[in-house]
């Protein structure tokens, strides 16, 4: 099936190139039939890439080592779930996933708009196919997943141990879905600029795709953070790593676009700002893909050095240059149709929120690329760490959360000042109450930034509760419905508005978790022997005994830790470290495990109030004599005899455990981050979900407005 | 076997892509685009009218401010409907010549 896979990829590239030509010819002179042919080229690309992807998936699931990629990223001992997801653990497979997702989403949007945007769509099609052609060229010419293994090995290398975590395997498809979905508003914005059709129609047509992109990207970022917290042994969920930052930047500009797009839809304003935001978001999504693959910046998440850097840089340069030229040459067409009527309006708050989001993006961009900037200016590569990022991002994040509460209580166009003051009364009282209540918690007053974040979150929650209550009350008065029915009906008839409010609550909860866990965290690094105890954050942690486990894929050494608080038993935590065999043939049957790759399994007690996080680093040096002795005396041991000897090492570790190093962390409210993420995702889904019988309702509402207008 | 499958995939892709080219020449999209653009603007304006109503019901606007905003929005909506009607008439006039 290697040949069929290669044929599919080559065909995808050729069809994409044809589709670019057909769409542009159709847009200029050829007429709609050529445009339709271009659109169908997108469907065909999606079809052949789906076949290529299925072939590769099947090869991984069957452990077909005649595929070089399968041999280098999977093995017969890899569990089936990880075999299926190992496809995108490689550079080649992940690029195929990227272009396949792009083709699928592009097909969906072009099918949905096949009878609309007849002028813009051919250009958008050409741009989407241009993206597809670029990535198809990469997988055909530079990173082909259908390379043969000659001879095919009997066993594969297995999946990279760090990636053996469920959230890490779902994380890439989520991120890529976000990145590729953002290509859709990007392409339609460019199409609108090219045709000078800059009415909000392109925004309306791609709104759901932009929202879906935001949702997928949010979920992907959170899964990455979750993986970092529960799988990496350093004890954090965000390290301002370049690849993490690369995913956050398009999220920030995309969030800004989702807000400012509403102003263009309603008022015909901020056209230049909106196209700039959406173009920046599309380019930042490609930049994020580039950072993971080029090896240009050091990151734990990157694929390492590769030959893909230059083509990506050239592609980004084309995107930036083309976008800039189009925006500059269309400035006359991008003039606003209206103006801000009042500073006290939702439009003004959205604009402020946009400025904060873009400032955050700029700070993160500067910090991420500072090593390259400093090298270009001084000749020496310097980098900035978390304290630098925190200094600028924390105040901006507080402002962002606060503004997400201000927007919902201000009316569009112009708010009545007296009514606005009344609307702020309850939320400000909630914020003040939160401040007073937190005064009773020891140490909180000494952290003013964290306190401000908590108060801002209380403000947002009160605003949303007040909005829901007022809206429900208004519906009850108008329709006589019961409170639950009125609430459900209010939300379902205004999904975008109230879904957005739920997102605001989720984001506020998430930032509360970030503020609490980063400000009030207790960390201790200790070295303990069995029977010894260490204290951290009000807990006593006692090293009860060493543990070990032997499986086909790894040797696990760990510890049983008893957790006590105020003298009472809380739970027993079992952190461990898994040692995976190296493929280095110079290492012996025992050494290849302990000199290969190792990953931490964290011992975690999670709760809404706090997480207790533990990781262990067993002292392998204490076992070194035994490991070296086995390697020397039985260098060719394999199969059952090797397992027997590894079992002897594990038994020895359990029976005579040397002191082990532990990292112990008590971190308050980390779970709020995941919970906030889930709430935000639920809000996003509410906003995204089509209303039941939407068309009929819309027609009814439109007829009503029309009747009223005729009387006006 | 793989060669046969490859040929089938190639033939299917060509059939999908080429089928619109066998049709007769379609209608020009410029008028449709103008109509669609005005229809989208009209829908957006209706949405704005409903949003203003919800803002009033949830206490963000006084009676006087709501009346002023609503009046302005309805005037804009009527203007859009006039433009839409004119565009539809122009499209109807063009259609026999298309």
- Angstroms from A86 CA to nearest CA on chain B: 25
Say if A34 is an interface residue toward chain B (CB within 8 Å). yes
* CA–CA distance, A255 with A217 (Å, rounded to integer): 11
Say if B81 is an interface residue toward chain A (CB within 8 Å). yes
Task: Dig out the tokens for A483 from the structure.
Answer: 């409170």
Task: Dig out the tokens for A311 from the structure.
Answer: 């083509």
The whole-number pLDDT of residue A585 equals 76
| Chain position carrying tokens 């076997």 | B1
Whether A48 sits inside 8 A of B5 (CB atoms) is no
Q: With beta carbons less than 8 A apart as the criterion, state whether A289 and A101 touch.
A: no
With 50 as the cut, is the pLDDT of residue B98 above it?
Answer: no
Q: What angle do CA A203, A351, A327 make, to 5 degrees?
A: 50
Whether A471 sits inside 8 A of B44 (CB atoms) is no
Whether A32 sits inside 8 A of B27 (CB atoms) is yes
Find residues 181-200 of chain A whose CB sits inside 8 Å of chain B.
195, 197, 199-200
- Residue A578: beta bridge partners? A556, A599
* CA–CA distance, A304 with A538 (Å, rounded to integer): 41
CA atoms within 13 A on the CB side of B38: 19
Q: State which residue of chain A sits closest to B71, comparing Cα positions.
A: A712
Helices A671-688 and A201-231, axial angle in degrees (round to 10): 160
In this structure, what are the phi and psi dihedrals at residue B73, rounded to the nearest 5 degrees? -65, -40
The whole-number pLDDT of residue A454 equals 96
Whether B16 sits inside 8 A of A419 (CB atoms) is no
* CA–CA distance, A706 with B10 (Å, rounded to integer): 52
Q: How many other β-carbons are positioned within 10 Å of the β-carbon of residue A68? A: 20
The whole-number pLDDT of residue A606 equals 94
- Angstroms from A78 CA to nearest CA on chain B: 28
Q: Which residues of A touch B51 (CB under 8 A)?
A: 266, 412, 497
Contact residues for A460 (Cβ-Cβ < 8 A; gap 6+): A401, A402, A404, A405, A427, A504, A505, A508
Whether B30 sits inside 8 A of A119 (CB atoms) is yes
How many helical (H) and strand (E) elements, i.e. helices and strands, does chain B have?
3, 0
Confidence of residue B43 (pLDDT cuts 50, 70, 90): confident
Task: Dig out the tokens for A98 from the structure.
Answer: 């990227």
CATH 1.20.120 intervals, chain A = 1-159
Given phi > 0 = left and psi -120 to 50 = alpha, else beta, which region is A385?
beta
Instruction: Give the nearest partner residue to A33 out of B20, B46, B81, using CB atoms.
Output: B20
CA atoms within 13 A on the CB side of B84: 16
Residues of chain A with pLDDT under 50: 694-696, 712
Say if B10 is an interface residue toward chain A (CB within 8 Å). yes
Q: With beta carbons less than 8 A apart as the criterion, state whether B77 and B47 touch.
A: no
The pTM of this model reads 0.90
List strand residue ranges (DSSP E) for A529-659, in order.
Answer: 533-536, 539-550, 555-565, 568-573, 576-580, 597-601, 603-605, 610-617
The whole-number pLDDT of residue A300 equals 57
Q: With beta carbons less than 8 A apart as the criterion, state whether A505 and A487 touch.
A: no
> CA-CA distances (angstroms) from residue A606 to A302, A509, A702?
29, 17, 50
Helix (H, G, I), strand (E, B) or coil at A310: helix
* CA–CA distance, A657 with A669 (Å, rounded to integer): 34
Instruction: Give the nearest partner residue to B6 out of A7, A18, A120, using CB atoms.
Output: A7
Of residues A51, A71, A61, A68, the one with CA closest to residue A5? A51
The whole-number pLDDT of residue A56 equals 96
- Residue A539: beta bridge partners? A536, A565
Give the DSSP letter string of A126-148: HHHHHHHHHHHHIIIII--TTPB
The whole-number pLDDT of residue A377 equals 83
> CA-CA distances (angstroms) from residue A518 to A447, A448, A638?
11, 13, 47
* CA–CA distance, A665 with A146 (Å, rounded to integer): 45
Q: Which residues of B touch A338 (CB under 8 A)?
A: none
Q: Domain A1-159 maps to which CATH number in 1.20.120, 3.60.20, 2.60.60, 3.10.150? A: 1.20.120
Given phi > 0 = left and psi -120 to 50 = alpha, else beta, which region is B27?
beta
Q: With beta carbons less than 8 A apart as the criterion, state whether A260 and A354 touch.
A: yes
Q: With beta carbons less than 8 A apart as the criterion, state whether A628 and A499 touch.
A: no
Helices (H), A26-88: 32-61, 68-73, 80-85
Full 3-state SS string of A167-234:
HHHHHHHHHHHHHHHHHHHHHHHHHHHHHCCCCCHHHHHHHHHHHHHHHHHHHHHHHHHHHHHHHCCC
Find residues 226-265 of chain A whose CB sits inside 8 Å of chain B.
265
Q: Label residue A243 exposed, middle or buried (CB < 10 Å: 0-12, 13-18, 19+).
A: buried
Instruction: Give the nearest partner residue to B18 out of A37, A471, A712, using CB atoms.
Output: A37
* CA–CA distance, A677 with A646 (Å, rounded to integer): 42
* CA–CA distance, B81 with B92 (Å, rounded to integer): 16
The whole-number pLDDT of residue A150 equals 84
Q: Is the dihedral of CA A364, A329, A209, B14 positive or negative?
A: negative
The whole-number pLDDT of residue A395 equals 96
Whether B29 sits inside 8 A of A119 (CB atoms) is yes
Say if A1 is an interface residue toward chain B (CB within 8 Å). yes
* CA–CA distance, A8 with A13 (Å, rounded to integer): 9
Helix (H, G, I), strand (E, B) or coil at A568: strand
Q: Label residue A160 exposed, middle or buried (CB < 10 Å: 0-12, 13-18, 19+).
A: middle
Instruction: Give the nearest partner residue to A197 out of B18, B33, B49, using CB atoms.
Output: B33
């Amino acid at each position: 099936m290697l040949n069929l896979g290669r044929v599919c990829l080559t065909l995808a590239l050729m069809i994409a190139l044809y589709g670019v030509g057909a769409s542009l010819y159709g847009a200029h002179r050829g007429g709609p039939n050529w445009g339709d042919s271009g659109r169908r080229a997108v469907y065909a690309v999606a079809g052949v890439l789906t076949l290529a992807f299925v072939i590769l998936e099947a090869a991984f699931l069957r452990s077909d080592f005649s595929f070089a990629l399968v041999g280098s990223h999977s093995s017969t001992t890899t569990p089936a779930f990880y075999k299926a997801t190992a496809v995108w653990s490689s550079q080649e497979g992940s690029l195929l996933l990227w272009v396949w997702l792009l083709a699928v989403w592009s097909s969906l949007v072009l099918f949905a708009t096949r009878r609309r945007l007849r002028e813009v769509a051919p250009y958008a099609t050409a741009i989407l196919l241009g993206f597809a052609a670029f990535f198809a060229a990469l997988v055909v010419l530079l990173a082909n997943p259908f390379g043969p293994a000659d001879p095919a090995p009997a066993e594969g290398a297995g999946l990279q141990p760090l990636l053996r975590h469920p959230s890490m395997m779902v994380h890439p498809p989520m991120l890529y879905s976000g990145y590729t979905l953002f290509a859709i508003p990007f392409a339609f914005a460019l199409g609108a600029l090219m045709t000078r059709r800059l009415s909000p129609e392109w925004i309306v047509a791609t709104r759901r795709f932009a929202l879906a992109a935001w949702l997928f990207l949010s979920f992907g970022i959170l899964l990455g953070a979750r993986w970092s917290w529960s799988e990496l042994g350093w004890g954090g969920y965000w390290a301002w790593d370049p690849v993490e930052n690369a995913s956050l930047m398009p999220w920030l500009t995309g969030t800004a676009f989702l807000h400012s797009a509403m102003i263009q839809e309603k008022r015909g304003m901020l056209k230049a700002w909106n196209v700039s935001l959406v173009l920046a978001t599309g380019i930042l999504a490609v930049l994020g893909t580039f950072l993971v693959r080029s090896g240009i910046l050091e990151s734990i998440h990157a694929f390492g050095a590769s030959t893909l850097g230059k083509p990506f840089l050239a592609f980004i340069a084309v995107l930036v240059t083309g976008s800039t030229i189009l925006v500059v040459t269309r400035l006359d067409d991008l003039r606003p149709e209206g103006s801000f009527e009042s500073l006290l309006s939702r439009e003004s708050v959205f604009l402020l929120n946009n400025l904060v989001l873009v400032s955050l993006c700029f700070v993160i961009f500067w910090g991420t690329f500072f090593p390259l900037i400093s090298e270009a200016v001084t000749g020496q590569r310097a980098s900035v760490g978390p304290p630098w990022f925190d200094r600028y991002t924390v105040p901006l994040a507080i402002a962002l959360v606060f503004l997400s509460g201000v927007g919902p209580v201000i009316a569009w166009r112009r708010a009545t000042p007296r009514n606005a003051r009344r609307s702020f009364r309850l939320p400000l009282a909630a914020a003040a109450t939160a401040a007073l209540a937190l005064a009773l918690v020891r140490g909180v007053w000494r952290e003013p930034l964290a306190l401000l974040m908590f108060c801002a979150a209380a403000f947002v929650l009160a605003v949303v509760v007040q909005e829901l209550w007022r809206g429900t009350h208004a519906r009850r008065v108008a329709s006589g419905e019961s409170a639950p029915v009125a609430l459900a009906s209010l939300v379902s008839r205004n999904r975008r508005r109230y879904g957005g409010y739920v997102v605001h609550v989720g984001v506020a909860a998430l930032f509360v978790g970030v503020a609490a866990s980063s400000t009030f965290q207790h960390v201790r690094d200790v070295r303990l022997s069995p029977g010894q105890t260490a204290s951290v954050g009000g807990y006593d942690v006692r090293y009860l005994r060493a543990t070990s486990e032997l499986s086909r894929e790894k040797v696990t050494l760990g510890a049983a830790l008893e957790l006590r608080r105020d003298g009472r038993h809380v739970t027993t935590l079992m952190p461990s470290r898994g040692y995976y065999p190296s493929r280095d043939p110079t290492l012996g049957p025992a050494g290849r495990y302990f000199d290969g790759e190792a990953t931490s399994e964290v011992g975690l007690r999670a709760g809404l109030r706090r997480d207790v996080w533990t990781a262990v680093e067993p002292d392998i040096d204490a076992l070194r004599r035994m490991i070296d002795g086995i390697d020397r005396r039985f260098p060719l041991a394999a199969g059952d005899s090797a397992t027997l000897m590894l079992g002897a090492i594990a038994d020895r570790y359990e029976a005579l455990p040397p002191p082990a190093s532990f990292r112990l962390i008590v971190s308050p409210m980390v779970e709020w981050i995941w919970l906030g993420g889930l709430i935000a995702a639920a809000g996003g889904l509410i906003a995204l979900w089509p209303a039941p019988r939407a068309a009929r309702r819309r027609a009814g509402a439109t007829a009503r407005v029309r009747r009223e207008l005729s009387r006006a | 076997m793989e060669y046969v499958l490859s040929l089938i995939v190639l033939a299917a892709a060509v059939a999908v892509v080429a089928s619109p080219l066998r049709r007769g020449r379609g209608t020009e999209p410029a008028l449709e685009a103008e109509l669609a653009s005005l229809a989208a603007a009209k829908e957006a304006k209706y949405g704005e009218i409903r949003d203003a109503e919800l803002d009033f019901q949830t206490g963000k606007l006084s009676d006087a401010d709501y009346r002023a905003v609503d009046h302005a929005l309805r005037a804009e909506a009527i203007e859009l409907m006039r433009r839409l009607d004119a565009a539809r008439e122009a499209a109807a006039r063009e259609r026999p010549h298309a």
